[in-house]
Structure 1
Amino acid sequence: MTLFTHLTSADDVRSIRRAGVRARSRGYEGTAGVFCLPILPSYQLTHQWGRELRRGGRRTMVAVDFRLPDDEPVSVGRYGRAHQELPSAEAAALIAGCEDARGYEVFVSRAIGAKEIHRVRGVNRVTGWRYMPDAHGRFPCPCPGCLRRGEYGSAKIRQAAESRGY
């Protein structure tokens, strides 16, 4: 059994302990499921999506640790790139063996039952990257899809983009 973790809002803890993690995210093929990462020796890599998820308005995050059978098929790949379907144990080994595992994600195309959950725990507030791995030194995209109105620093980014001619 491979141990994975899913990051979610602390507001959902009661529901998760009672009924499990609902399959409300959409994968690249449009199927419903749950995004997660294997628990790795590096805390930062295991919880790398935390800071980016906070940008969406979630303030207090928790990690839901759960076990999947080693032969269960999951989709694994880097964010924004094509994913491949592998058994969960091989997906965890692929990410653990990468020299730079930032930006990887695992997608389980079903809900996670309450009996599969190992534990629910709090996570560090400042773990992870924002926007994407290696975003430092790159100008953020000012389009309305990437930069929402009212987001911290959004007016300054839009003004800088207009002065550059974007």
Structure 2
Amino acid sequence: MPPITPRPSGWRARLRALVRELGKFGTVGSTAFAVDLLVFNLLLSNGSETLTAKTISTVVATTLAFFGNRYWTWRHGEHTHLARQYTTFFVLNAVGLGITLACLAISHYVLGDIWPALRSQAADNVAGQLVGTALGTIFRFWSYRKFVFRATDVPHRDPAYSPPSP
């Protein structure tokens, strides 16, 4: 009877797993961003109203991100109720967007009153696209992992192993 293959332990194994997870999360997010940009611009070029186009492109991209994360990034996580998971994912995505908007608002409207240079387009891009997106992405990664795709602690077993009969 083959032994159970032990799971690698220690901080190095956890760090390697976290880096793989972050890489997959980043790949899914980058793909979703590209799809959002593509769908938004296709809809605009075909005469859609701006807010309608952005709403549709965001729903399409968020849905893609949900399924990419569910079936690739966190494929070993809990997958019990698709509708509840999808709704939670959307809500947490909205919170991540709120973080991005808060960074932009603080920079532009609060700090911009003190330093007018922070009301420029370049400053808005730094605050919203760089700082806001970075903080929102950190929140999304943490919250998806904790609330949407919770890890199940399934022991890693050798596929050839079968437990002995009593």
Scaled by the length of structure 2, what TM-score is found?
0.25
Relative to its length, the structure with more strand (as a share) is 1
Relative to its length, the structure with more helix (as a share) is 2
Task: Specify the structure having the higher radius of gyration (Cα).
Answer: 2
Scaled by the length of structure 1, what TM-score is found?
0.25
